[in-house]
Amino acid sequence: MLTAGSQVSLSDTLLTDQPASVSAPRTHSAKLWLPQRVVFTPDALDEEFGQQILARVSTQNLEVELLKSNRLTGLRQDDVRATYRTAKNTLAIVKAPAGALRLQPTPPSADWQLNMAEGCPAHCQYCYLAGSLSGPPVVKAFANLPCWPTPPPTSSPAAW
C-alpha cells in the first residue's frame, strides 16, 4: 500500500502499489483484412484499375459478384445483425462520384486529402459511425483512381 511520502513512478498503476504489467512485444504481424465477397459495378469494370482489381481478387479465391447495375444490391439480410455482418465482409469496387475527385480539406489541420475508398472494415465497439450512416456499412474502393486529376505545377490545391 502507498504511504505518505512514497514515490509513485509512471510504471505503477494508480489503483495499487504494484507495478503495472508490461505487455510482451508482438511476435507476429498484424492480421490483414480480406473480404469474403467482392462485388463489382459495371462502371468500375469499365476502368482499367477496376480490371486490375478483378484480376487480383480472382487469384485470392474470393467470392466475386459482377453486378448488373451500378447500385449495390444483396447486402440487406433478414435482420440488422446479419446485414451488418454481410456488409462488413463485403468489398464493393465502384466508380467514385464526381464530388470525390476533388481535394478536400481536413480541418483543423492545413492538410488536404483525396479519398481512395469509403467505409471501414473494422468492428470497433465504440464506433458511432456504424449506426449513424445510412445503409449497410460496406467498404467501397474506387476503381477510377488513376484518372484523378494531377495538380498543376504552380497552383495551390485550393485552385483546383
Q: Which amino acid is at 65?
A: E
How many CB atoms neighbour CB 94 within 10 A?
24
Q: What is the C-alpha separation between 113 and 106, in angstroms, rounded?
A: 7
What was the pLDDT predicted at 41?
96
What was the pLDDT predicted at 66?
95
Would you write out the chain's pLDDT as a tens digit for each of its 160 residues? Answer: 545 555 544 444 444 555 556 667 767 777 788 899 999 999 999 999 999 999 999 998 899 999 999 998 888 888 888 888 888 899 999 999 888 777 888 888 888 888 888 888 887 778 776 667 777 888 999 998 755 555 555 555 555 5
The x, y and z cell numbers of residue 122, run together, are: 473494422
Domain spans in the chain, listed from the N-terminal domain onward: 33-97+117-137
The x, y and z cell numbers of residue 88, run together, are: 462488413
Q: What is the C-alpha separation between 38 and 103, in angstroms, rounded?
A: 27
pTM above 0.75, yes or no: no
DSSP per position, 90-145: EEEEEPPPGGGGS-EE-TTSS-EE--SEE------TT-SHHHHSSS---EEEES-G
What was the pLDDT predicted at 10?
45
Q: What is the C-alpha separation between 3 and 26, in angstroms, rounded?
A: 36
CA nearest neighbour of 140 among 83, 76, 96: 96
CA nearest neighbour of 103 among 44, 155, 47: 155
Q: Which fold has domain 33-97+117-137?
A: Rossmann fold (3.40.50)
Q: What is the C-alpha separation between 97 and 38, in angstroms, rounded?
A: 19
- The beta-strand segments (E) located in 26-67 are 37-40, 63-66
What was the pLDDT predicted at 100?
79
